[in-house]
Amino acid sequence: MSTKDTISNYHLSEEEEKKEILREYRGLLKLLKEKMKPGDKDLIRTAFEMAADAHKTMRRKSGEPYILHPIAVAKICVEEIGLGIRSCICALLHDTVEDTDITLEDIQREFGSEITKIVDGLTKISNVMDANTSKQAENFKKILLTLTDDPRVILIKLADRLHNMRTLDSVKREKQLKISSETVYVYAPLAHRMGLYIIKTEMEDLSMKYMEPDTYKFIAQKLHETKRERTRYINDFIRPLKEKLQHTGLDFEIYGRPKSIHSIWSKIKKKGVSFEEVYDLFAIRIIVNAEPEKEKEDCWKVYSIITDEYNPSPERLRDWLSNPKSNGYEALHTTVMGPLGRWVEVQIRTKRMNDIAEKGLAAHWKYKEGKDDESNFDKWFNQIREALSNQETNSLDFLQDFKTSFLAEEIYVYTPKGDIKMLPVGATALDFAFGVHTAVGTKCIGAKVNHKLVPISYKLRSGDQIEIITSAKQKPNNEWLNFVVTSRARSKIKDSLKEEKRQVADLGKGILERKFNAINAVVNHANLEELANFYKVNSTLDLLYDIAIKKNDLKELKEFTVHGDKLIPPKPAKPAEEKIESLDHKPLTKKDTELVIFGESSDKIMYTLANCCKPIPGDDVFGFVTTGEGLKIHRTTCPNATRLLANHAHRVVKTKWAKNKEISFLTGLKIIGLDDVGVIHKITNLISGELKVNISAMTIEAKDGIFKGNVKVFVQDKEQLDNLVNQLLNLPGIERVDRYDTEEK
């Protein structure tokens, strides 16, 4: 169901609404027709009626009856993820226990324990969007705990999130930002890892539509404008390949598909090019219908035909036939030089591989039935189970570790004996060592990569062969945490450091006991906690460790009073500081959420502009309540925005600009062009002379006929900045003008 369809239904009469609900329900039954076994239809009807009755008084933000949401989620599960009857029942019931009077016992009675367990898993994670920081990360940990029991929980949750993203037009702006950032931060990478590439792409595109609307519209418009020319080019590229492939007798289909808006934008940013310079706006896909035993052979045959016709780029060959990705993805990718000197990406897959690429996990299971080999996907699951078993990990740390360890792309490396190991991109020799065994990791002093000596922090590349060098005298240190990326390595290093810290802390406990005896205080858990809070350390272990290493001499202890067994801290001298500290926990009032920057209320609420993105009036911004530094204003395109919005949504304050021509803001521009005579004079004349914009600083470097300039200017708002950029681009010889955050230079 599209966003447009959903939002246009809110004005229907009660009778029309009933017809609409029935129409959607019948559409779901139609999708399930081939999967139905005797009795299934009755079960689905029971689930539908149960959900419809439970949600009958509820409406979505768009005004439509709430029941349309569970039906839409069930449809996504069946049609786009390829799940079956039981998952469909769970999707229909996924919000009932959380939002209505229905209990897990009711579901157990009607549908049995398998469906109850999945609905319970979905209920545990249904609050993720509105929870506070640590709770949100904690909930995400729960998602993953449930995922390792039954992956259908996360697949249904992804369907739920996708439908929420498709219908996001009807919620408030700050909620759009929050849900979008969370989606691109966690759910899209998770969909990718589950092999659901189409869903991952749509989630990224929809998130971008709300987080960076101008850029999204710009690229969408450009794609629309170039569609005819692109179609013509794809047809010209495919024609000779089609003829050659037909002669081989292979059963195949070949077509071009556009790249997503989000991936095009990522390329523009990463490579520093314009839209016109992004060569792979589309990819050619060839799907072969091959017998299981001839799959590899047929794919390489197709590769041979392509490279006979077009020259390949040797470093752009990706062979996921020999080593499939851990999410089950198999394919052969190559990039070739097509007509008119343009690089074109070609993806070669069989019908089975394409099913797994489109439907991910569900298809993976379908083809695995009857086989007993442990796939890469199962190995990945086992690694997550191991990471989750470390209960001491702070939830936010866990979320970060999970993203780098499990949601990243993989590389393939070899042991000295030639066994293959899979690691996330960015993994080091030390990550590999911990992957072999904890004892090897903790004693690792270096490695040989392809027979050459390298440090333990050496970043590995696909195809490397690694031999680990150990020493009995080696032990982990804090520095190691700065360069390992796998969850296993991080947790084992932390365990080792904690054990060492405990041994040192025991000495601190002895010192503390002597100090406590002097003031007749008792060493108990409550008093240790009181002291840890007073000195603002994270734990009693940190407190005892600081005492042992003489970082804390406890000189304030004499100001404490003892009442029975209880240690009572002195009254704080500066209540003002306490007030700032508590800003983080203060519930935001209705008035706060309507904060206007540079409007009437700007005098009453103190704020600062974030250094990481230097917002100026006209930028799309949000306020963020920090601990100790009050309110900070960030651009929604800030490099830190996604993380802040996804992890700390409860601290976000809605903000908007009011006009104030009295104040100027510092921002920076990078200018690239041809090093022509008088070019600097033209730039300064335009900025200072014609446009009357003050220049704060300017640096120009020229090399081999190209100049690169950085100019810091004071502008009043984004409108003035955009005008300046456009005027500069109109100067002869100027190739690119990009805004940068003034902290960069």
Render pLDDT for 195-248 as a digit per residue (tens, 0 to 9).
788 898 899 999 999 988 888 898 888 888 888 888 899 999 999 999 999 988
Confidence tier at 347 by pLDDT (50, 70, 90): very high
Q: Which amino acid is at 73?
A: V
Give the pLDDT confidence of 258-294 residue by residue, as tens digits.
888 888 888 887 777 777 777 667 889 999 999 888 9
Q: Provide the 3-class DSSP secondary structure of residue 335.
A: strand
Name which residue leads in pLDDT, 740 or 129: 740
220 Cβ contact partners less than 8 Å away, ≥ 6 residues apart: 261
Partners of residue 622 on adjacent β-strands? 634, 654
**d(C-alpha 328, C-alpha 376), whole Å:** 7
Confidence tier at 370 by pLDDT (50, 70, 90): very low
Give the pLDDT confidence of 504-551 residue by residue, as tens digits.
888 888 888 887 777 777 778 777 887 877 877 777 888 888 888 887
335 and 345 Cβ atoms separated by less than 8 Å: yes
Q: pLDDT at position 1, please?
A: 37
CA angle 201–205–207, rounded 5-degree value: 115
* Active-site residue list: 98-99
Q: pLDDT at position 284, please?
A: 92
Q: pLDDT at position 458, please?
A: 92
Distances in Å between the Cα of 565 and the Cα atoms of 522, 557, 561 are 6, 15, 11
DSSP state at residue 11: G
pLDDT > 70? residue 670:
yes
Q: Provide the 3-class DSSP secondary structure of residue 160.
A: helix
Tokens representing residue 131 in the block: 């929870």
Give the pLDDT confidence of 612-636 residue by residue, as tens digits.
888 888 788 888 887 767 788 888 8
Q: Which of 518, 523, 537, 533 has its CA nearest to residue 566? A: 523
For 728, the enclosing helix (H) or strand (E) is helix 718-729
Q: pLDDT at position 397, please?
A: 60
Partners of residue 268 on adjacent β-strands? none
Distances in Å between the Cα of 371 and the Cα atoms of 247, 362, 368, 704 are 35, 15, 5, 61
pLDDT > 60? residue 8:
no
| Class of residue 643 by CB neighbours under 10 A (exposed 0-12, middle 13-18, buried 19+) | middle
pLDDT > 70? residue 676:
yes
* 221-368 CATH, one of 3.30.460.10, 3.40.50.620, 3.30.750.24, 2.40.50.140: 3.30.460.10
Which CATH code for domain 377-494?
3.10.20.30
Q: Which of 324, 321, 320, 328 has its CA nearest to residue 359? A: 328
Q: Is 400 left (phi over 0), alpha (psi -120 to 50) or beta?
A: alpha
DSSP string computed for 196-233: -HHHHHHHHHHHHHHHSHHHHHHHHHHHHHTHHHHHHH
The fourth-level CATH superfamily of domain 3-211 is: Hypothetical protein af1432 (1.10.3210.10)
Tokens representing residue 60 in the block: 């979505």
Confidence tier at 131 by pLDDT (50, 70, 90): very low
For 368, the enclosing helix (H) or strand (E) is helix 361-368
Dihedrals φ, ψ of 485, to 5°? -120, -20
| Class of residue 692 by CB neighbours under 10 A (exposed 0-12, middle 13-18, buried 19+) | exposed
Specify the domain boundaries for CATH 3.30.70.260 within the chain.
Answer: 665-740
**d(C-alpha 143, C-alpha 157), whole Å:** 9
Partners of residue 258 on adjacent β-strands? 282
Q: pLDDT at position 239, please?
A: 93
Mean pLDDT, residues 96-120: 85
Q: What is the mean pLDDT of the chain?
A: 79
Q: Which amino acid is at 734?
A: I
Specify the domain boundaries for CATH 3.30.460.10 within the chain.
Answer: 221-368
**d(C-alpha 190, C-alpha 407), whole Å:** 6
Give the pLDDT confidence of 455-505 residue by residue, as tens digits.
899 999 887 889 999 888 888 888 898 889 888 888 888 888 888 888 888
DSSP state at residue 601: G
423 Cβ contact partners less than 8 Å away, ≥ 6 residues apart: 410, 411, 413, 431, 432, 435, 460, 486
Mean pLDDT, residues 135-162: 70
Confidence tier at 9 by pLDDT (50, 70, 90): very low
Distances in Å between the Cα of 272 and the Cα atoms of 275, 289, 509, 554 are 10, 39, 56, 54
Give the pLDDT confidence of 44-63 residue by residue, as tens digits.
999 989 988 888 888 888 78
Dihedrals φ, ψ of 598, to 5°? 60, 35
**d(C-alpha 70, C-alpha 54), whole Å:** 12
Dihedrals φ, ψ of 369, to 5°? -50, 130
Q: Which amino acid is at 690?
A: E
Q: Which class is domain 665-740?
A: alpha beta
Give the pLDDT confidence of 159-181 residue by residue, as tens digits.
999 999 999 988 888 888 888 88
Give the pLDDT confidence of 373-421 residue by residue, as tens digits.
445 556 656 666 665 555 555 555 666 666 555 566 777 788 888 777 8
